[in-house]
A and B are shown apart, each in its own frame.
Chain A
């Protein structure tokens, strides 16, 4: 069974979705990702969906779920590079992914993630010693 690779970059995890998502794949991603966050104590997750051309309500909801789970595990999620057609579809489906941070591209997403994590770091969050 295929998996979506999860790359570790410092204290962030990078997920680039480059194939069309189907339900099994997104469920597997959810499990892999939560495992990796717990294992690496990552502070942020960046999901790049710029090559995703199509979403349905299930995948849309799963994106929201993944963000929620990551937050519970102490990692912020940023979804970047959503295509206009995908954004319109999600809105028409009534899924506006509240609670998920978004950015235009990976670079802006990384900036946002750093800013958010830095802000959180101020209030004495669990920072692992390097």
Chain B
């Protein structure tokens, strides 16, 4: 049987309403994907729109190839549905099941239509399966793409969020580093630190590495690069927040921190910075 002989378009057109009813009932009773489901109204609306788009695509001659221009509206609709589900936190399985679950009501209808014509029924079911599988895979693809986009965006946001430069005092800025320091981040850190040094007119920058889990030779090199750049601008750097383990690692690795001042805590580094800038914080005598 040639795909062009398929009665699928005609069957769908004639029995659209019944298939929709069956499909909705099946989706609402299905065990899969009900733990996080769309509201019933939304589901009905989406199912109806999908069936309509499918019907139009089939009428336009789309049977086995969903890449063609005639299937563009159908693809667009599915893409939108998949993107929405990805953003709402559905699993890929739940997303694809939305399409795959159409098989049951559709096959049921086909069985009624073909009656005892077993060969015709088998061929028609194969055609329908092929079509629905392609559509299901397409939703998974879009879902994956949307997820990747979300992850990329979050990474970017994390990168921007995680490097605040704070002004501690007149002429003193601090840069609390959190997380691993790789080349890309060093670049961002360096740029924002230097910008702030110019803006605030800071002569001392404290780089606090309390939140950096490990310091290896590469991280140390990145740190030293930042220190060197700040020095070129005319600001001294103090590295603070060096935990005992990190001090041990630094010495074991033979990392040469040069003549950069280092302190165990941010408070200690701040005291040093104040002294270097000729300032002091004293206890107020009236404050008791």
Contact = CB atoms under 8 A, between A and B. Distances in A.
Interface residues of A, number: 20
Interface string A78-108: 0111111011101110001100001111001
A88 B203 contact: no
Contacts of A44: none
Contacts of B232: 79, 82, 86-87, 90-91, 96-97, 102
B234 A102 contact: yes
Interface residues of B, number: 19
Contacts of B197: 84, 104
A80 B234 CA distance: 7
Nearest to A92: B225
A87 B229 contact: yes
Nearest to B195: A84
Interface of B: 187, 190-191, 194-195, 197-198, 201-203, 225, 228-235
25 contacts: A79-B232, A79-B234, A80-B234, A81-B234, A82-B233, A82-B234, A83-B198, A84-B194, A84-B198, A86-B232, A87-B230, A87-B232, A88-B191, A88-B229, A91-B190, A91-B225, A91-B228, A96-B228, A97-B232, A102-B231, A102-B232, A103-B203, A104-B202, A104-B203, A104-B234
Interface of A: 79-84, 86-88, 90-92, 96-97, 102-105, 108-109
Given A83-B198, A104-B202, 17 more contacts: A79-B232, A82-B232, A82-B233, A86-B232, A87-B194, A90-B232, A96-B228, A96-B231, A97-B232, A102-B231, A103-B203, A104-B197, A104-B198, A104-B201, A104-B234, A104-B235, A108-B234
